[in-house]
Structure 1
Amino acid sequence: MSRKGIQAFSAGIITATAILSISYFLTPKEAAESEKATEEQVSAYLASEGQVSVSRDTYETLVKAKEATVSEPSKTEEAPAKTEETPAKTESPSKKETFRFFIYEGTSTAEIAQKLEQGKVIKSANEFADYLIDTDLHTKVRQGGYKLPTGLSNEEAAKYLIKQ
């Protein structure tokens, strides 16, 4: 890089720093504080996403209980047989279950795929997102509310999303 190039680069950095400093110091602190989320907004967001908030103590208790449950099957040989029976019993009701969600404007294909995977509509978010992109269906998915049955293939889930 030549001397003039380095000087121009340095001048650019100094200019950018000056602009950022001026905007930082001239922004009222009240405006910055007003952008903080209120407890009502957080509660509304969690409700819309189907999530709940728990205290740290409750969370730690749940984590310990989960760790205890995970470590118990290795103690006896009967436990794995019980865990194998459980999925067979839950498969038939899961086919009848439906998952409701809303696609907002600007939602990415990856975010849609993650929501569908969390709702057990599809098996893999990455495979579904790749399928939509490879088949150019990602441009046909529109915003709106959807109600999909669980356990769909990538093709079936895509058909639901492009019908509206």
Structure 2
Amino acid sequence: MSNKALRAFSAGLILSTGIFAVSYYYIAPHSSEHAITQDQVDSYLAEKEQTAISNDEYATLKAVSVKPAASKPTAPAPRKKEPAQEVQHMTLVVSQGMSTGEVCDELQRGKIIKSSKEFLKYLRSTNREGAVRFGAYKVNSKMTAEEVAKIITSP
């Protein structure tokens, strides 16, 4: 590259930098002029039928959610119905990011299944382990493992 071409290229860089600086400082709107107000946030949330919660409320809700637990699979066995036992009902809430093992543990805590390990093994044997989807599902202890698996997995 010749000296003349190099100087022309350098001059172009300096000129374009100057143009960007002028447009940034004098033409582009500054963020302080467009600050979002609390009324705008409230109206946006009302439009979307959503609500805002405080960090303390969020922490409380997060603490109530399922804690991760290690689980080792055992022999697959569909859940057997027991005649003289009280029927347990629960709404299983599967959050985004929950593992299948955590979902199984939550079902065991709700007394919907007897063993989270056995249910996890059943899901693996039927190729449904990765098909559990987040959402809220109504389940009860009268359901078999197959029925519960159909409800919490994608079609």
TM-score tier, shorter chain, comes to 0.3 to 0.5
What's the TM-score, normalizing by structure 2?
Answer: 0.46
Q: Which has the higher contact order (CA 8 A, sep 6+)?
A: 2
Q: TM-score, normalised by structure 1?
A: 0.44
Q: Per residue, is there more helix in 1 or in 2?
A: 1
Say which one has the larger Rg. 2
